[in-house]
Structure 1
Amino acid sequence: MKFVDSHCHINFPDLQADIAGLLSRMDNFDVSHALCVAVNLPELPSVLALAAEHHNIFASVGVHPDYEDTPEPTVSQLVALAKTPKVVAIGETGLDYFRLTGDLEWQRERFRTHIRAARESGLPLIIHTRSASEDTIRIMREERADEVGGVMHCFTESWEVAQQAMELGFYISLSGIVTFKKAEELKDVARKMPLDRLLIETDSPYLAPMPHRGKQNQPAWVRHVAEHIAELKGIALQEVADATTGNFFKLFARAGAA
């Protein structure tokens, strides 16, 4: 039985400082691979270095919508960076109207840039959306994100939004939030999710799942997410492991070829 953490930030200082221990715990918890996701261009070298140094770590290139005061990527820049070995996706990108307010047209333009880069590079998208699902889906449609597909990471939206994303060829990734007691709407999404469209993640170092809530998260604990989904669906853990691992390598095809 093997699990894959489809979204983490193990280049962040506290996690990178204990990378040997982190990888060892992944092995102990049957987590075979992890995707280290970029959030801006200045810190991208640390993401790429981890992927280069460790056979079971992959990377993405992109600029997170929460980063306002940071170098803005261009389509050509992202496409060039996407050619780096072990880069398997464009992102994370998307819209976040929760943390930032005011005129957020720059966020929407950045999102469009990433979708265009994904279409040009042929790599799937990693999409972050918070309090912005209507605009997120609209821009995905307008920019033809369905031509490359991708994943709605750390999904916390409604079943209706999940359906709209899946209609565009996207996977839905559930994080430790699904294990939280009050996350009833998300638990309902998990019950309804078809296994062939499901991914799991930690979003480390954030959102540690039960029974570790409040602690610094790590890729090894993605197993707890899978265990809770299996319980919600009333199926064997092996089924969740097989489906989500297979989905990861199907979506991120370059990872399977690495």
Structure 2
Amino acid sequence: MRIFDSHTHLNDEAFTGHVAEYVAHAQKLGVTQMAIVGSDTNLNAGALQLAHQYDNLFAIVGWHPEESKRYHAAEEATLIEQLQDPKTVAVGEIGLDYHQNVAPHAAQKNVFKRQIELAKAFNLPISIHTRDAFEDTYRLLEEVGVPARGGVMHSFNGDPEWMQRFLEMGFYISFSGVVSFKNAHDVHATARAVPSDRMLVETDAPYLAPMPFRGKQNQPAYSLYTLEALARLRDENPDQVAEQTYQNTHRLLEIDHD
């Protein structure tokens, strides 16, 4: 079995000084490749540093909606440099987050739009974070247009109807540990309905640890438990789901080596 953790944050301070241990543990559980995701200048730099340090790690760089109020010309200039790094495979995580209202909605929309345009300019897919903002996320994507290489709805928590709307736009659907939660009924329904060639798995570590580790710090190795939960919901063989999601991630991110 080989698993691709399509969205994790080994660049987070929770892993500082212990990255090698987490990478080794992940490999023992079959997690052979990972996409390390940034959210501002420093975390983007951390993602790239790890991607260059480990051949099996790749970087996704961008500005998280909660950080959008700090995104200005200097930050964009740095991001443009980071997007041209050969280990950068996507723009993210970008999008809208209305859950805690940390940043003004207008600022979030402006930064989201700008980063979609950058993804188009550099021919990269996008990794979308959307929380309590499906309507505005969809509307903005319709307005600006999805990049030619599409993207992924990271840690998707919507129902099958929303899934279908994003699939029609060219997106993949990624499942985090939430898919293992007992009462995540919308996510369960989506997991059963998603086409096999459009599903990914992720940890979003150090957040959203799957059962049986819910409430504890997540780590890339736990992709295995997310994958097993997804396979149970679909009544499919975990080895087959692992290989399918692995190949899907390679196709989306245009990674052509093992």
Assess same fold via TM > 0.5: yes
Q: Map 1:58-207 onto structure 2 (within 5 A).
A: 58-72=58-72, 77-100=78-101, 103-207=104-208
Aligned counterpart, 1:25 = 25
Deviation at 1:66, TM superposition (A): 1.3
Q: Supply the RMSD in Å over aligned alpha carbons.
A: 1.7
Deviation at 1:98, TM superposition (A): 0.7
Q: Secondary structure at the match of 1:42?
A: helix
1:98-130 Cα deviation digits (max 9, x unpaired): 111684111001000110000000010000001
Q: Secondary structure at the match of 2:41?
A: coil
Structure 2 unaligned regions, length at least 5: none
Aligned counterpart, 1:55 = 55
Aligned counterpart, 1:231 = 232
TM-score by length of 2: 0.95
Could you tell me whether the CA contact under 8 Å between 2:38 and 2:46 is conserved in 1? Answer: no
1:51-86 Cα deviation digits (max 9, x unpaired): 110111100110000124533367665343211121
Code of the residue aligned with 2:194 in structure 1: it is M
Q: C-alpha separation between the residues in 1 aligned to 2:22 and 2:103? A: 39
Moved more, 63-72 or 112-121: 63-72
Q: C-alpha separation between the residues in 1 aligned to 2:206 and 2:252? A: 24
Deviation at 1:34, TM superposition (A): 0.5
> How many matched pairs?
257
Deviation at 1:158, TM superposition (A): 1.8
Q: Secondary structure at the match of 1:66?
A: helix
Q: C-alpha separation between the residues in 1 aligned to 2:20 and 2:225? A: 21
Q: 1:59 to 1:111 in 2, by over 3 A?
A: same
Deviation at 1:93, TM superposition (A): 0.2
TM-score by length of 1: 0.95
Could you tell me whether the CA contact under 8 Å between 2:123 and 2:147 is conserved in 1? Answer: no
Structure 1 unaligned regions, length at least 5: none
Moved more, 59-68 or 107-116: 59-68
Q: 1:61 to 1:186 in 2, by over 3 A?
A: same
